[in-house]
Structure 1
Amino acid sequence: MRFITIAAPLAGTSIRRVRLATASLVSAAMLILFSAGAAQAHHGFDDFDTDRPHYIAGTVSQVRWGEPHSYFTVTIDRDLPADTPERDLPDGLRDAADSDPINAAPSYSGSHDQLEVTIAPPSFTGMWGLDRELEDGERIEAVGYVGRSHDDEFRPVVFWVEDGKPVNQVLNEELPATPLPVPYPEDDAPAADADQESPSASADSDDTSPMAVWATVGGVLVAVVAGGAFYLRARSRRA
C-alpha cells in the first residue's frame, strides 16, 4: 500500500516531464522547419524571371549592407553593349551549362533607368569574392534576373566590381533554371505538348527539394518524440 502511495506521484511527475520534453522537442522541430523555409525563401530566385538572364552595368548608390540580404540601386549605363562582354567567371559557374547563358545574356532593355539590386548577405558574399561593402559611386557589371511582379528589381547570379573580380551569387553553384534560347522570342516560350513533360518540369521532379528534406527530418523527429512519450507513459502506468 505504501508502495502505491509513493509510486503514484512519481508516475504523475514522470508523465508531466514527458509532456514538457515532448512539447519542447516538437517546438524545436517546428523552429527548424520554419528556419529552413525562411532561409530557402530568402536565398531563392522564385520572384525573378529565371528563364531570361540579362546583363546590366552602371553606378551603385543607396547601399544597404547586411543580413539577411544586401541591397543597392544601380543607375543603368546608357550605352550598354548588345550582350555580356567577355568577363572572368567564378569557378562554380565555368561549366558550359552556366557560362554559355551568362556570356550570351542580352543587355537589359527595360523601361527603368535604375534597378533595385538584391544580393546575398555579407556572410556569403565574403566567401564568394567580395569581402567589403560596396560604395556609393562605384561601378559594377552583373548578369542576373529581372523581377517577375516588380520589374524594377534585379537579382544577379554573378557580378563584377571595378577591378573586374567576379562575385558568385548562386548558392548551388549552378543557374537556377535553363534559360530560353537566345535571342529570346517576342512572346514566352511555346507551351509544351500536353502529352510531353517539359524539360524544366522533368528537372524539377528529379531534384529533391530542400524543403522536402527538412519536412522529412522534422516528421521523423516528431514521430520519435511521440513514440518515446507513449512508451514512457505506458511504463509509468505499469509501475
Structure 2
Amino acid sequence: MQRAMRLLESVARHEHGAPAKQLARETGLALPTTYHLLRTLVHEGYLRRDKGLFFLGRAAERLSSSGAQQKRRSTVVEALAHWRDAIGVPVYYAVYREGEIDVLCVADTPGNPAVEEWAGFRETAHAHAVGQCLLSQLDEEARRDHLARYPVQPLTPYTVRDDHSLLRRLDRLRRAEPVIERQEYALGTVCAALPLTVGTQAATVAISLPAHQADRLLPAARRLQDEMGRLLGSLTLSISI
C-alpha cells in the first residue's frame, strides 16, 4: 500500500504523464515492482496509461475531490463551533440547492441545545428563520415554486398565515439584515438568520435562543455578523460541502 501511494504521488507531480522507468527512479522502487504496481493501479482505475505514459485515473481524482470536500466541511464545522463558544448560542449552517433546504451543520452544547426538528425543516421554510432567510435570497419565481411544493401551514399561533403574507414579508427584508423569527416554528424558541450568498448559491448562518432570552437575540445576531466578517473568506469557499 505504501509503495502504491508513493507511485500515485509521483504520477500526480507530472501533469503531462511519466513513463514507468522515470517513476521507478523517483520512488526508488525496482523496475519489476514498479511495473507490477502500475498494472494494478491501472486495473483499479487509480491510473491510466496512454502511449507509454501514466496519468492519474478517475478513482484517484475522486479521492482527491473527497479529501478537498472533507477539508471544506471541517472549515465550516470549526467556524460554527467557534461562533457557538464565542456567543454562547447554538449555530446552524444551511444552504438552498436543487430546490431544497439543507441544514448541513449544527453546533450546540447540552447547555445550549439546538431546536428540535419536530416538523421537517424542508417542508416548513415559511416558519423558521433559516428557511425565510434562504427564500429571501431567491427570485420571485423560485419562491413561488418552493411554496407550490411546500405550502404555508400554521405550526404555532405565531406562524405566518398564508403565501401572500409570507411573500410580502420576504420583499420587505433588507439585504444583509438578520431575519428574525419568534416562536413561528416552535413555541418557546426565537431565531435569527444571516444571509450568505456566493455566486448563485444561497446560504445562511443562524442562531436560536429560548424565548425568555429574546432580548439577547438581536445583539447575538449582530455579534455573529461581526464574527462572520472575520472568517467570511474561509467560509464562503466551503459553501458547497
When normalised by structure 1's length, the TM-score is 0.26
Question: Whose relative contact order is higher, 1 or 2, with alpha carbons under 8 Å and at least 6 apart?
Answer: 1
When Rg is computed on C-alpha atoms for both structures, the one with the higher figure is 1
When normalised by structure 2's length, the TM-score is 0.26
Structure number with higher helix proportion: 2
